[in-house]
C-alpha cells in the first residue's frame, strides 16, 4: 500500500494525517513553520511563495476558527483564496463531493483545504484529484486534524525543546477526537517516550493502547509528574446521555482545575485546541493562568499552516522568511 501522503520521491504531496509521516517530514514542517513565525510581526505580513496559486477552502462542516486560520495563512503566502461552505450550498442540492471538487479543479484550484464530518473524506478526495493538486486535511470526522496536531507539537517544542524527555497527558473525549489521534501519532513519531490518555471508558476507543499510549481513568494518577497537559474539547451533544451523566460530574472528575494541575510538574504547560468549554473540561483560572499556552497555540497555528502550504506548493523554503 502506497502512502497517499508522499510522492514517489518521499516528499509531502498531501497532508492528510500525522500518522504515517516520517519523523523527518514532521520536523521539516515544524522547522519551516519556525521561519514563518516572524512574518506576522512585520509591517507587511506577506511573503510571495504562493503568488498566482489558488487555495480553495472546502468546508463540508462548519468551522469559523480553522477556516479563518487557513485563510490568513494562505493570504500571507500571497495565494488567492476561495472559501466555500459546501454544506450550505451544493450538497444540499444533491451534488456529490467529487462533483464539487471536479468543478473547483475546472476553475484551476491548486490546493484544497478540506473539512468534512466523515472520517476518511480527505483521503477520499486526495485519491481522486490529479497529481498536481494538493489536499490538506482540516479535519475529517474523528480521524485526523493534522495541522492542529502539528501546531500542538510546535507549541510544545517551543516550551519544552527536548521532546525525548517528556511525559504528555491527553485528557478528555479521545473517542470522538480527531485532534487526539493527530496528537498521539505526532507525539509518538517525534519520540516522546510517554504519552498518556485520561478519560472514562465511554470516551476511549477500542484498543486505544495499540496507538502507543498508556491509559488512565483516574485523572489525578494520570496527571502525576507530566510536563504537558493537552485538553480536549467535549462536544455539547455528548454531555448528557449514555456517554456521560452530566457536565457537573464530568467537570468534577475530568475537568482541569489548578488543584489537579498542581499534580503535574511545576513547569507543566496546558494546551487546548479550542474552542474551550470553560467550566466543563477546563476551569477558567487554568485557561487564563500562567501555565496556559492556549493563545500562543493559535498564533503558531498560522505559521504551521503556512509551512504546510508552502511545502506542498513545492517551494524550497530556506532561511528565515522574516
61 binds another protein (CB under 8 A): no
Please identify, using beta-carbon distances, which residue of 31 and 99 lies nearer to another protein: 99
Q: Which residues contact 81 (CB under 8 A, 6 or more apart)?
A: 54, 55, 56, 57, 71, 74, 75
Q: How far is CA 68 from CA 21, 59, 84, 207, in A?
A: 26, 11, 12, 35
How far apart CA 160 and CA 268 sit, in angstroms, is 9
296 binds another protein (CB under 8 A): no
Classify 47 as helix, strand or coil.
Answer: coil
Q: Which residues contact 288 (CB under 8 A, 6 or more apart)?
A: none
208 binds another protein (CB under 8 A): yes
305 binds another protein (CB under 8 A): no
Candidates 42-50, 63-71, 203-211, 281-289: pick the segment binding another protein (CB under 8 A).
Answer: 203-211
40 binds another protein (CB under 8 A): no
Among 4, 22, 200, 296, binds another protein (CB under 8 A): 4
Please identify, using beta-carbon distances, which residue of 145 and 305 lies nearer to another protein: 145
Q: Binders of another protein among 136-165, rule CB under 8 A?
A: 140-144
Q: How many residues bind another protein (CB under 8 A)?
A: 28
How far apart CA 249 and CA 239 sit, in angstroms, is 10
181 binds another protein (CB under 8 A): yes
Among 33, 121, 135, 198, binds another protein (CB under 8 A): 121
263 binds another protein (CB under 8 A): no
Decide if 56 contacts 104 (C-beta within 8 A).
yes
Candidates 81-89, 105-113, 153-161, 207-215: pick the segment binding another protein (CB under 8 A).
Answer: 207-215
Tell the residue number behind the cell numbers 484551476, with chain if given: 108
211 binds another protein (CB under 8 A): yes
Candidates 102-110, 123-131, 283-291, 295-303: pick the segment binding another protein (CB under 8 A).
Answer: 123-131
19 binds another protein (CB under 8 A): yes
Sort 135 into a burial class: Cβ within 10 Å, 0-12 / 13-18 / 19+. buried
Alpha-helical runs (H) found in the chain: 23-37, 65-76, 97-106, 121-128, 146-159, 178-189, 219-223, 247-254, 258-261, 284-287, 294-312
112 binds another protein (CB under 8 A): no
Q: Phi/psi zone of residue 230: left (φ > 0), alpha (ψ -120 to 50 degrees), beta?
A: beta
Among 13, 123, 167, 272, binds another protein (CB under 8 A): 123
Among 160, 178, 196, 260, binds another protein (CB under 8 A): 178
Phi and psi (nearest 5°) for 296? -55, -35
What residues make contact with another protein under the rule CB under 8 A? 1, 4, 19, 96-98, 116, 118-121, 123-124, 127-128, 140-144, 178, 181, 205-208, 210-211
Amino acid at each position: 500500500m502506497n502512502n497517499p501522503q508522499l510522492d514517489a520521491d518521499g516528499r509531502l504531496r498531501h497532508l492528510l494525517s500525522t500518522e504515517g509521516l516520517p519523523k523527518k517530514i514532521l520536523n521539516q514542517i515544524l522547522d519551516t513553520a519556525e521561519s514563518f513565525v516572524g512574518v506576522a510581526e512585520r509591517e507587511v505580513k506577506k511573503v510571495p511563495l504562493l503568488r498566482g496559486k489558488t487555495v480553495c477552502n472546502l468546508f463540508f462542516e462548519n468551522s469559523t476558527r480553522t477556516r479563518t486560520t487557513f485563510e490568513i495563512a494562505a493570504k500571507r503566502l500571497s495565494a488567492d483564496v476561495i472559501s466555500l461552505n459546501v454544506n450550505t450550498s451544493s450538497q444540499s442540492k444533491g451534488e456529490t463531493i467529487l462533483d464539487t471538487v471536479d468543478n473547483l479543479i475546472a476553475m484551476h484550484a491548486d490546493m484544497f483545504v478540506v473539512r468534512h464530518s466523515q472520517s476518511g473524506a480527505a483521503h477520499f478526495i486526495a485519491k481522486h484529484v490529479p497529481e498536481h493538486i494538493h489536499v490538506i486535511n482540516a479535519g475529517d470526522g474523528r480521524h485526523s486534524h493534522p495541522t492542529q496536531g502539528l501546531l500542538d507539537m510546535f507549541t510544545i517544542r517551543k516550551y519544552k525543546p527536548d521532546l525525548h524527555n517528556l511525559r504528555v497527558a491527553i485528557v478528555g473525549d479521545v473517542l470522538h477526537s480527531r485532534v487526539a489521534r493527530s496528537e498521539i501519532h505526532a507525539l509518538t513519531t517525534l519520540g516522546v517516550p510517554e504519552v498518556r490518555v485520561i478519560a472514562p471508558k465511554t470516551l476511549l476507543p477500542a484498543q486505544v493502547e495499540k496507538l502507543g499510549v498508556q491509559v488512565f481513568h483516574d485523572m489525578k494518577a494520570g496527571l502525576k509528574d507530566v510536563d504537558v497537559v493537552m485538553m480536549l474539547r467535549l462536544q455539547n451533544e455528548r454531555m448528557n446521555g449514555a456517554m456521560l451523566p452530566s457536565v457537573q460530574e464530568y467537570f468534577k472528575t475530568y475537568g482541569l482545575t489548578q488543584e489537579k494541575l498542581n499534580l503535574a510538574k511545576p513547569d507543566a504547560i496546558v494546551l487546548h485546541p479550542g474552542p474551550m468549554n470553560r467550566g466543563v473540561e477546563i476551569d477558567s483560572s487554568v485557561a487564563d493562568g500562567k501555565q496556559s499556552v492556549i493563545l500562543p497555540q493559535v498564533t503558531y497555528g498560522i505559521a504551521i499552516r503556512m509551512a504546510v502550504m508552502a511545502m506542498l506548493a513545492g517551494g524550497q523554503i530556506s532561511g528565515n522568511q522574516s
